[in-house]
A and B are shown apart, each in its own frame.
Chain A
Amino acid sequence: MTGAQVRTDDRTADVGAVRRLLIRPELGAVVGMVAVFAFFASQSPVFRSPAGIANWLDPAATLGIMAVAVALLMIGGEFDLSAGVLTGTSGLILVTLATRFGFNVWAAMLAGLVVALAVGFANGMVVTRTRLPSFIVTLGTFLMLQGINLGVTKAITGTVQVGGLRRADGFEGAAAVFAGTIEIGGTSFRVAILWWVVVTAVATWVLMRSRVGNWIFAVGGNEQAARNVGVPAARTKIALFMTTAFAAWLVGSIMALRYTSVQANIGIGQEFIYIIAAVIGGCLLTGGYGSAVGAAIGAVIFGMADKGIVFLGWDADWFKFFLGAMLLLATLANRLVRRYAEEVRH
C-alpha cells in the first residue's frame, strides 16, 4: 500500500515497513549466516577462497535438500523423524539391486523412489487417519526402517555395508547427473549444489505462489479452520510426507552414487539436524510459519560451521556445541519475531 492509503494512526505510524521486514521468517537465518561467514572468513583465508566455498557448500547442499523438504512439512504442522534413515534405505535399495540383482542403476534408482514414496505415503496416511502426533508415528517408522536397513543388509551381504556400485550398468551416466562436479572459474563444485538450488527454488515457488502453498500454511496454522473453508487437509499433509520422502531418496541416491557404497546405519541421527536447520531458518515447531529459503540458509550455516571448524584446526567435537547454541539462539529469535508479528493492535 502507498503511504496515502495508510490510516494515520499514531500508535502504528511508520512501523509498517520495518515490521514487514522483521517478520520475514528467514531474517534471523540471514543474520546468522552473515555472522558465521564473517567469523570464519576473517580467521581462515582458505575458508573464503573459491575452493573453500565449494568445500563448505557441499555438506550444505545435501543437508539443504532435506532441510527444505522438512521445512515444508513443518510449516504444514508435522514432523518426519524417519527422513534421515530413509536416505539410507533409498541408497541401500539402489546399491543392493544394482550390485546383487543385476539391475541397471537407473532402474534401481526408480525402485528406490517407489519404495521411498510408499514410505512417505504410509506416514501421511497413518498421521491423517489416526490423528496421532506425527512425532510418534514417524518415530515408529524410523525404528522400523533402521531395523530393516541393518537386517536386510546383513542377510544379503553378511556385513553391514553394500558396495561395488561402480561396476553396475548405467553407473557413469547416473553418477554424472547426481554425483558429478561442475567447473566454475577453475574450481570444481559438486553437482549436488545445483540440485539443492533447484529444490529450494521449486519449494519457494510452491509455498509462495501456488494454491497448495496457501493450503500448507493453513493446515499448519489451524487444520480445522482450513478444512472448514474447503482445504483438502489430509491430501496436503500426505503430499508433504511424500515430498520429504522424495528428498530423502534424492539425497540417498546422491550419496550412494558418490561413495559407490552404503553403510546400513547411515542417516541415523540426521533427522534432528534437518529439523534444526529448518528451525534456524525460521520454521515454528508449532507449524504454520516458516520458509524454504530460510531452511536452505540454515543448511549453509551448518555447512560453514562443519567445515570452518576443520579449517581453523579446532577439534570437530566443537561442532556439536555450536549446533546447540545456534538452535537455542534461533528458537529465541523466532519467538520474539512471532510475538511481534502476532501482537494485536486495536
Chain B
Amino acid sequence: MILETRGIGKTFGSVLALRDVSMGVTAGQVTCVLGDNGAGKSTLIKILSGVHRHDAGMLLVDGAEVGFASPREALDRGIATVYQDLAMIPLMSVWRNFFLGSEPRRGLAFDVAKARRVAREELRAMGIDIRDVDQPVGTLSGGERQSVAIARAVYFGARVLILDEPTSALGVKQAGVVLRYIARARDRGLGVVFITHNPHHAYPVGDRFLLLNRGTSLGEYAKGEITTQELTALMSGGAELEELAHELERE
C-alpha cells in the first residue's frame, strides 16, 4: 500500500467535512472515490495532496505516518494531483507546458530540443496522439489536456496520481479517452486515485471503490464485491432515488 488513510477526519470550524474515512492506494491499481456533490470528495483529495491537514485519524505513505505541510511535500513523496482546472497555460505550446517550472537545462539555456523530444516521447509512451507538440495547449480538446497533465505527472516521478473529476466536464467519447490513459498509468505501475461522481466511468477502470456520503464512508469495496447498479444505488442513496421515482410518477 503506497498511500493509506485510517479513520481520517477534518473539520472546518463547526462543519464536519470528513469523518472516519479509511482507504488505500496500491501500486498498479485504481482506487475510485465516488460521491455526490458535498460528499467530502474534494476534502479527502486535498488531505491526500497536502493542501489541507487532517485533524483526526492517520495518513500513511509506505506504511509510515506522515503529515503534509504543503502540496510540494506531497509531490516530493511522489503524490501528484491533476486538478480539474489543470494548471496549464492555453497560449503556450504543449512542450513548454509539459516542462513549465522544471525546465531541463543545458548550460544557461533551456534545453528546448530535449524538452520537445521528451514531451513527444512521453506522450507517445502514454499512447497520447498529439498532432504536434508545438501547438498551443488551448487548441487541445479537454480530454487531450487531461491526458497531457497525466503524462506530465508520470514523467516527473509520480507514484500516486490523484485525478480530480477528470471526466466530469467531458463528453462520452472524450471521457473514454481519459479512462484509457488512467488504465495506461495504472499499467505503468502507478497507484491511481480517481475521483468522480459517475459510477459508469468508475466501474470499468476501478479496482477498489470508496463511497462517500455527507462526509462519511459508506465502505470500500473491491470490484468483485459490487456491481455498477449497486454502486449507483449506494451513491445516490437508493431510498432517495426510489422516493424520487415515486414522486415523479403520474398521479
Q: Tell me whether A and B are bound partners.
A: yes
**A interface residue numbers (CB < 8 A to B):** 1, 6-7, 9, 12, 16, 19-20, 23, 208-211, 213-215, 217-218, 221-222, 225-226, 228-231, 288-289, 338, 341-346
Q: Is the CB of A12 within 8 A of B138?
A: no
Chain B residues with CB under 8 A of A222: 87-90
Chain A residues with CB under 8 A of B183: none
How far apart are the CA atoms of A344 and B120 in the complex, in Å? 20
Q: Is the CB of A7 within 8 A of B91?
A: no
Q: Is the CB of A16 within 8 A of B103?
A: no
Is B155 among interface residues, defined by CB-CB distance under 8 A?
A: no
Task: Tell me, rounded to whole Å, the shortest Cβ–Cβ distance linking B121 to chain A.
Answer: 12
How far apart are the CA atoms of A19 and B110 in the complex, in Å? 25
Q: Is the CB of A344 within 8 A of B138?
A: yes
Identity of the chain A residue whose Cβ is nearest the Cβ of B104 in the assembled complex: A211
Q: Is the CB of A214 within 8 A of B138?
A: no
How far apart are the CA atoms of A203 and B13 in the complex, in Å? 51
Identity of the chain A residue whose Cβ is nearest the Cβ of B83 in the assembled complex: A228
Task: Tell me, rounded to whole Å, the shortest Cβ–Cβ distance linking A223 to chain B.
Answer: 10
In the complex, how many residue pairs between chain A and chain B have their CB atoms under 8 Å apart? 92
Q: Is the CB of B132 within 8 A of A217?
A: no
Q: Which of B131-152 contact A (CB under 8 A)?
A: 131-136, 138-141
Task: Tell me, rounded to whole Å, the shortest Cβ–Cβ distance linking A6 to chain B.
Answer: 6
List 11 A-B residue pairs with CB atoms under 8 Å apart, sorted by A's residue number: A16-B132, A210-B108, A218-B92, A225-B86, A226-B89, A228-B87, A229-B100, A230-B102, A341-B139, A343-B139, A345-B140
Chain A residues with CB under 8 A of B131: 1, 6-7, 9, 12, 16
Chain A residues with CB under 8 A of B140: 344-345
**B interface residue numbers (CB < 8 A to A):** 72, 86-92, 96, 99-103, 105, 108-110, 112, 120, 129, 131-136, 138-141, 174
Which of B92, B99, B109, B134 contacts A217, CB < 8 Å?
B92
Q: Is the CB of A229 within 8 A of B92?
A: no
How far apart are the CA atoms of A222 and B140 in the complex, in Å? 17
Contact of A288 with B139 at beta-carbon distance under 8 Å, contacts A16-B131, A211-B110 already known: no
The 7 A-B residue pairs with the shortest CB-CB distance in the complex, in nearest-first order: A229-B101, A221-B89, A230-B101, A342-B138, A225-B87, A211-B103, A346-B141
Q: Is the CB of A341 within 8 A of B91?
A: yes
Q: Is the CB of A225 within 8 A of B109?
A: no
Which of A16, A209, A221, A228 contacts B92, CB < 8 Å?
A221
Contact of A226 with B139 at beta-carbon distance under 8 Å, contacts A209-B110, A342-B91 already known: no
Chain B residues with CB under 8 A of A346: 141, 174
How far apart are the CA atoms of A345 and B174 in the complex, in Å? 12
Task: Tell me, rounded to whole Å, the shortest Cβ–Cβ distance linking A13 to chain B.
Answer: 10
How far apart are the CA atoms of A341 and B136 in the complex, in Å? 7
Task: Tell me, rounded to whole Å, the shortest Cβ–Cβ distance linking A238 to chain B.
Answer: 18
Q: Is the CB of A288 within 8 A of B110?
A: no
Which of B92, B100, B101, B120 contacts A288, CB < 8 Å?
B92
Which of A19, A20, A225 contacts B89, CB < 8 Å?
A225
Identity of the chain B residue whose Cβ is nearest the Cβ of A16 in the assembled complex: B132
Chain A residues with CB under 8 A of B109: 209-210
Identity of the chain B residue whose Cβ is nearest the Cβ of A287 in the assembled complex: B91
How far apart are the CA atoms of A211 and B96 in the complex, in Å? 10
How far apart are the CA atoms of A341 and B137 in the complex, in Å? 10
B91, B105, B135, B138, most chain A CB atoms within 10 A = B91
Chain A residues with CB under 8 A of B99: 214
How far apart are the CA atoms of A79 and B112 in the complex, in Å? 28
Chain B residues with CB under 8 A of A208: 112
Other than the known A6-B132, A225-B87, A231-B101, what 18 A-B pairs have Cβ atoms closer than 8 Å? A1-B120, A1-B132, A6-B131, A16-B132, A23-B136, A211-B110, A214-B92, A217-B91, A218-B100, A230-B101, A231-B100, A288-B91, A341-B136, A341-B138, A342-B90, A342-B139, A344-B141, A345-B140
Q: Is the CB of B136 within 8 A of A226?
A: no
